[in-house]
């Protein structure tokens, strides 16, 4: 591109740069013939169209510029030019995403500024931990004190965690042609949070609402313009959309084609910060065991898991995140009836393969349906109060391999043999499992009989009913502790 074309392109992108900084609640000004400038935490940041570059640090001290330059070199892999008026970053053709990345560094890093020479600046150390709870607290503060202005982008809280909530990108997006789109608009979420608070919704529920819906998909600037102006959804969701519906509805409504980032099973689980994890291989529809297990575990002071992994090749999850099984297509309704709520679906998990062939071979009832429509996704997460269940539609041996290598499974639920997975003391040791909840007459218990006989495990609970009273399987259960 010629210098003139680069300048024209930067001028055309000014509205998007303005939107970025404006949404963050920062003051700015557009300078005719020169571009755009704003002060972010006391540091001047410029979209310099006449110079065809991004500039920052005007009137900062040499020590300030050293600190800023360190972050730019290590995180952006760029070598800024030092001038008398600050730092100049020369990109071949500056993009909004490049400006945003510089903006993020200035916004989120604890750059300890010296006392300025002429510009009054201040700095409060920023901590990204528990950010959604802080957003809920900010909503409470704004409503209680009638200060709506502090809710602009939730005080910049959402912008500060952009890198942590990117979950995918459009098929047309490139590094040079990129825009960060909150797929449920921040303004929409804030309005919903205010309504929830006015209706006496607990702050923890507002926190969870933010966490469930505040996600970013990288798209192109043209796609952002399409969503905002062609479809009129700059700060809104499509008609009749409600919290709990698909968070991708706005992108789908605007016909934006996108792919979600793949995550490992470790990343999925640890994002919920569970204190203890339990795996139930070949779990089927046996969700009721969680309550039974938890009650018994509390009585005998055993492990009380917060995050359960249910794996079974008879699960399927459709594109809307609804869970079905080989026995009922509406298993999601069963979960809702006993108090579980949908949290998120996972379209793929690194290192795991969905059990497409096995499910199709064994589910004749689904032959009239579109198999690809039913089997696009591999996992879905549901929640009941502080208990989470990750349902994985895949083989147990695949889950076993991934868990062994990546995460500690504190306890197991066994009701049947695990296909292709040898249950040995070494297996328990690798998983890190210390306790087992098992049915007394089930295959799972028979499978560990040798361990019981050899005193490698010890029963620590009294007998308890394994299944609900009207189930034809009236098996009793135990909690067993691994002692050797």
Would you put residue 179 in left (φ > 0), alpha (ψ -120 to 50) or beta? beta
Q: What is the rounded CA–CA span in Å between residue 60 and residue 235? A: 36
Task: Provide the pLDDT for residue 471.
Answer: 53
Task: Provide the pLDDT for residue 424.
Answer: 61
Task: Provide the pLDDT for residue 363.
Answer: 46
Q: List the chain pLDDT tens, one digit each, 484 residues.
A: 788 888 888 888 888 888 888 777 777 788 777 788 888 877 888 888 888 888 887 777 777 777 788 878 877 778 788 776 677 776 777 888 888 888 888 877 656 554 444 444 445 556 667 889 889 999 999 899 888 877 876 767 777 787 788 888 898 988 778 888 999 999 899 999 999 999 999 999 999 899 888 999 999 999 999 999 999 999 999 998 988 777 888 998 999 988 777 677 777 887 777 889 999 988 888 898 898 889 889 998 999 999 999 988 888 776 666 788 877 778 888 888 889 988 777 766 766 766 544 444 444 444 444 443 344 457 888 888 889 999 988 878 777 777 766 678 888 888 765 555 555 666 677 778 888 888 755 544 544 555 555 556 777 887 777 665 455 456 677 888 877 6
Name the nearest CA neighbour of 390 among 278, 296, 248. 278
For each of the domains in the chain, give its residue range(s) and CATH number, in order of start.
Answer: 3-108 (3.90.1150), 131-260 (no CATH), 265-482 (3.40.50)
Q: Containing H/E element for 297?
A: helix 289-299
- The model's pTM is 0.53
Name the nearest CA neighbour of 120 among 59, 48, 45, 46. 59
Q: What own/partner pairs with CB < 8 Å and gap ≥ 24 does 44-51 have?
A: 44/86, 44/119, 45/102, 45/103, 45/106, 47/10, 47/13, 47/14, 47/17, 47/94, 47/99, 48/88, 49/7, 49/10, 49/11, 49/14, 50/7, 51/88
- Reading the block at residue 287, the tokens are 């969700």
């Amino acid at each position: 591109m010629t210098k003139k074309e680069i300048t024209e392109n930067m001028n055309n992108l000014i509205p998007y740069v303005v939107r970025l900084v404006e949404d963050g609640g920062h003051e700015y000004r557009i300078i005719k013939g020169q571009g755009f400038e704003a002060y972010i935490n006391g540091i001047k940041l410029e979209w310099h169209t006449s110079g065809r570059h991004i500039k920052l640090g005007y009137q900062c001290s040499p020590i300030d510029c050293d600190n800023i330059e360190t972050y730019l070199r290590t995180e952006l892999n760029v070598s800024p030019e030092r001038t008398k008026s600050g730092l100049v970053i020369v990109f071949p053709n500056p993009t909004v995403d490049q400006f945003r990345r510089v903006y993020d560094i200035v916004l989120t890093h604890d750059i300890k500024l010296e006392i300025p020479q002429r510009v009054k600046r201040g700095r409060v150390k920023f901590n990204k931990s528990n950010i959604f709870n802080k957003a809920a607290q900010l909503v409470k503060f704004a409503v209680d004190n009638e200060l709506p202005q502090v809710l602009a982008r939730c005080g910049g809280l959402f912008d500060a965690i952009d890198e942590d909530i990117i979950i995918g990108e459009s098929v047309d997006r490139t590094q040079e042609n990129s825009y960060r789109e909150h797929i449920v608009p921040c303004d929409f979420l804030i309005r919903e949070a205010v309504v929830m608070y006015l209706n006496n919704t607990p702050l923890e529920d507002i926190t969870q609402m933010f966490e469930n819906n505040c996600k970013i998909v990288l798209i192109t600037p043209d796609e952002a313009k399409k969503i905002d102006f062609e479809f009129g959804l700059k700060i809104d969701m499509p008609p009749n959309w409600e919290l709990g519906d698909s968070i991708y509805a706005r992108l789908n409504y605007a016909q934006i084609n996108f792919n979600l980032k793949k995550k490992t099973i470790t990343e999925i689980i640890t994002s919920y910060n569970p204190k203890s994890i339990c795996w139930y291989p070949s779990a089927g529809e046996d969700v009721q065991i969680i309550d039974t297990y938890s009650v018994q575990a509390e009585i005998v002071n055993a492990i009380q898991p917060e995050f359960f992994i249910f794996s079974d090749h008879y699960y399927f999850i459709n594109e809307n995140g609804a869970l079905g099984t080989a026995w009922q297509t509406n298993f999601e309704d069963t979960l809702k009836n006993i108090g579980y709520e949908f949290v998120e679906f996972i379209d793929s998990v690194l290192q795991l393969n969905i059990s497409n062939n096995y499910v199709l071979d064994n589910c004749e009832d689904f032959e009239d349906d579109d198999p690809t429509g039913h089997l696009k996704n591999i996992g879905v997460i549901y929640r009941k109060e502080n208990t989470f269940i990750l349902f994985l539609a895949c083989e147990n041996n695949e889950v076993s391999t991934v868990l062994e290598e990546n995460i500690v499974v504190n306890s197991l639920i066994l009701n049947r043999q695990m296909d292709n997975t040898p249950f040995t003391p070494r297996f328990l040791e690798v998983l890190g499992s210390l306790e087992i909840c098992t049915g007394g007459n089930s295959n799972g218990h028979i499978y560990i009989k040798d361990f019981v006989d050899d005193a490698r495990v010890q029963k620590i609970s009294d007998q308890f009913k394994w299944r609900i009273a009207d189930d034809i399987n009236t098996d009793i259960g135990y909690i067993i502790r691994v002692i050797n």
